[in-house]
Amino acid sequence: MIIDIHAHVSAPIELAAYKASLLSHRGAHGRGKVGASDDQIRAAMEEPSRFFGGISHLAHLDDAGIDLQVLSPRPFQAMHSEEPAKLVRWYTEETNDIIHRVCQAYPGRFRGMAGLPQSPSLDPREWTHELRRCVGELGFVGAMLNPDPMEGTSPPKPPLGDRYWYPVYEVLCELDVPALVHSAGCRPPARESYSLHFIVEETINTISLINSQVFKDFPDLKLIMSHGGGAVPYQAGRFMPGALRRPEDGTFTDRLRRLYFDSCLYTQDALELLLRTVGADRCLFGSEKPGTGSARNPETGRWFDDIHLLIEDIGWLSGDERADLLENNARKLFGGLDD
Tell me which residues are annotated as active site. 288
CA separation for the pair 283, 263 (Å, rounded): 7
- 8 A C-beta contact, residue 49 and residue 10: yes
Contacts 24+ apart (CB under 8 A), 291-296: 291/7, 291/8, 291/52, 292/195, 293/266, 294/51, 294/52, 294/53, 294/60, 295/53, 296/53
By three-state DSSP, how is residue 49 classified?
strand
How crowded is residue 204: how many other Cβ atoms within 10 Å of its Cβ?
A: 20
The full DSSP string for 72-122 is E--GGG--TT-SSHHHHHHHHHHHHHHHHHHHHHSTTTEEEEE-----TTS
Q: Work out the angle at residue 260's Cα, subtended by the Cα atoms of residues 110 and 53, and round it to the nearest 5 degrees.
A: 45
Strand intervals (E) in 14-54: none
What is the four-CA torsion angle of 96, 99, 100, 102, rounded to 10 degrees? 160
Q: Which amino acid is at 192?
A: E
Residue 62: half-sphere exposure toward Cβ, Cα within 13 Å: 7
Question: What is residue 3's DSSP assignment?
Answer: E
Q: Which amino acid is at 40?
A: Q
CA separation for the pair 227, 224 (Å, rounded): 10
Residue 230 Cα distances to 37, 188, 270, 326, angstroms:
38, 22, 11, 20
CA separation for the pair 280, 238 (Å, rounded): 22
